[in-house]
Structure formats: structure tokens, C-alpha cells
């Protein structure tokens, strides 16, 4: 009796291995079922989803104008001090002094892509870009000024 059970056990064990191996052989012969992204060879065609949170950017139009008023709502909303707004006073056409941004400093190395700044901004001045290759040789390259040099605030944005 013992020997029968023993043989049964051995064959049962072999069968269990064969069941698993059958799966493996299936994929061995069905290449279409395998998906591997050939990164970085596919960089030209690789497109991230349009909501992907890659980094905070400030869109400028063709006249080099942005929509940021310097209200610092985003700076307050940010949980980890990623954004620093440096403001200055500008004299406008009517001779009135007006607050405007001098520099919108953004520390990419601190950003956690939580989207709170974008939700907080009352004038839609910033948005998320879909970039993802952020590695640089020196950490200082990650500190960015988002408003372009000599850019101005758009007409009519308060």
C-alpha cells in the first residue's frame, strides 16, 4: 500500500509541475501576448497620458505673457515649500504702482506632484506638464524660474 501511495504522490507532483509548465510553454509560443515597452528606443512615439503630473509649468502665449498675478495662493497651498514667489512693484501706464511677479521660483526636487497649487490658483496661471525625464547632474539645475525673462502679465487678468 505504501508503495502505491508513494508512486501516486510522485506522479501527482509531476502533474502539478506540468500544469504550470504548460502555461509557460503557451507564452513561449505566443509572442503577441507579451508586452514590453522598448524604452528608451521608443522615445519618439512615447506619449504620456494628458493628465500625467510631471512638473509644474507656467504657460506663456506668443506675446510672452503669462497669467500669474503674484497672489501667492499657490505658495500657501503647497505642503512642502516648493514654490517661492518674489514680487516687485511695477508702474503701469496710468502711473499707478501695481504688484507683479519678479520671479516664480520652483524647486522641482521638492515637488511631490500633489496638484494642490494648481487647484489653488485663482487665475489658471500654472499647470502640470507631462515631462518625466528629470535627472540632471547637479541638483541646482532642478531649481527653476517659471516666468520667462521679460514676460508680462496678460491684459485683463486680475
Partner 1 sequence: MVEEIGTTADGDLIINVGPQHPATHGVLHLVITLNGETIKKVEPHLGYIHRSIEKMCESLSYRQFIYVTSRMDYLSSHINNHGCALLVEKAMQIEVPARAQAIRVLLDELTRIASHELWWGAMAMDLGAFTPFFHAFREREMINEIMEDTCGARLTMNYILPGGVLEDIHPDFVKKTKEFIALFKRKVDEYFELLTGNIIFQNRMKGVGILSAEDAISFGCSGPTLRGSGISCDVRKHYPYEIYSQLQFEEVLETGCDSLARYLVRLREMKQSIHIIEQLIDNIPEGDFQAKTKAVLKLPKGEFYQRVETARGEFGIYVVSEGGTTPYRIKFRSPGFSNLSALDHMARGSKIGDLVAMMGTLDLVIPDIDR
Name the site residues for partner 1 (rule: CB under 8 A).
12-13, 16-17, 19-20, 22-24, 34-35, 48-49, 51-53, 77, 79, 112-116, 119, 128
- What's the chain's Rg over C-alpha atoms? 28
The interface partner of residue 64, options being partner 1, ligand SF4, none and the CB cut-off 5 to 8 Å by kind, is none
Interface residue with ligand SF4, options 24, 31, 91, 121 (CB under 6 A): 121
Cell of 118: 494648481
Choosing among ligand SF4, partner 1, none, which partner's interface includes residue 146 (Cβ < 5 to 8 Å by kind)?
none
Residue 69 interacts with ligand SF4 (CB under 6 A)? yes
H helices of 36-142, where?
73-77, 116-120
Identified binder of ligand SF4 from the candidate list 16, 42, 64, 80, rule CB under 6 A: 80
When CB distances are held under 5 to 8 angstroms depending on the partner's kind, the choice from partner 1, ligand SF4, none that residue 13 binds is partner 1
Nearest Cα neighbor of 106 from 117, 96, 95 is: 117
- Is residue 112 near ligand SF4 by the rule CB under 6 A? yes
DSSP conformational letter for 32: G
- Nearest residue (CB) to partner 1, 14 versus 64: 14
**61 alpha-carbon distance from chain centroid:** 22
Cis peptide before 85 (omega within 30 of 0): no
111 binds ligand SF4, rule: CB under 6 A: yes
**Grid cell for residue 105:** 521660483
CA gap 82, 118 in Å, rounded:
13
Amino acid at each position: 500500500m505504501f508503495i502505491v501511495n508513494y508512486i501516486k504522490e510522485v506522479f501527482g507532483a509531476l502533474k502539478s509541475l506540468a500544469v504550470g509548465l504548460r502555461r509557460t510553454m503557451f507564452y513561449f509560443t505566443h509572442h503577441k501576448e507579451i508586452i514590453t515597452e522598448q524604452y528608451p528606443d521608443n522615445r519618439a512615439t512615447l506619449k504620456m497620458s494628458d493628465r500625467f503630473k510631471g512638473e509644474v509649468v507656467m504657460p506663456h502665449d506668443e506675446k510672452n505673457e503669462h497669467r500669474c498675478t503674484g497672489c501667492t495662493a499657490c505658495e500657501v497651498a503647497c505642503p512642502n515649500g516648493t514654490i517661492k514667489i518674489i514680487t516687485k512693484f511695477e508702474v503701469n501706464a496710468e502711473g499707478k504702482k501695481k504688484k507683479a511677479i519678479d520671479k516664480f521660483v520652483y524647486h522641482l526636487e521638492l515637488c511631490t506632484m500633489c496638484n494642490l497649487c494648481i487647484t489653488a490658483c485663482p487665475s489658471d496661471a500654472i499647470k502640470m506638464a507631462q515631462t518625466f525625464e528629470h535627472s540632471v547632474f547637479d541638483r541646482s539645475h532642478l531649481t527653476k524660474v517659471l516666468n520667462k525673462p521679460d514676460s508680462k502679465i496678460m491684459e485683463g487678468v486680475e
